Amino acid sequence: MRRNFNIYTLVGQNIKKYRKLKGYTQEKLAEITSLSYGYIKNLEAKGVYASISIETLQVIATALDVSIINLFEEKND
């Protein structure tokens, strides 16, 4: 695992990546998932520093048409 690796930041970055691939705004993703816009915004900007349930991650993954596993994948640049 990389030095300074942060799983929360990784998940937030992946949510943002897949949201943009779907052409969704943060507001649209919030609407689809019934989560607040502020929560989605914070999640993408800062990662999931608060507790987040597997169920919530699944709701987000479903809205983005990806497997929940995709939210945890590291880029291979």
Q: What is the pTM of this model?
A: 0.86
Which CATH number fits the domain that encloses residue 44?
A: 1.10.260.40
CB 36 within 8 A of CB 70: no
Per residue in 33-58, pLDDT (tens digit) is 999 999 999 889 876 666 688 999 99
Helix (H, G, I), strand (E, B) or coil at 63: helix
Per residue in 6-33, pLDDT (tens digit) is 888 889 999 999 999 999 999 999 999 9
CB 72 within 8 A of CB 10: yes
Domain tally, the chain: 1
CB 8 within 8 A of CB 47: yes
Instruction: Please give the residue range of the domain that contains residue 57.
Output: 23-67
CB 63 within 8 A of CB 33: yes
Alpha helices in 24-68 (DSSP H): 26-33, 37-46, 54-63
Confirm whether 53 is domain-assigned: yes
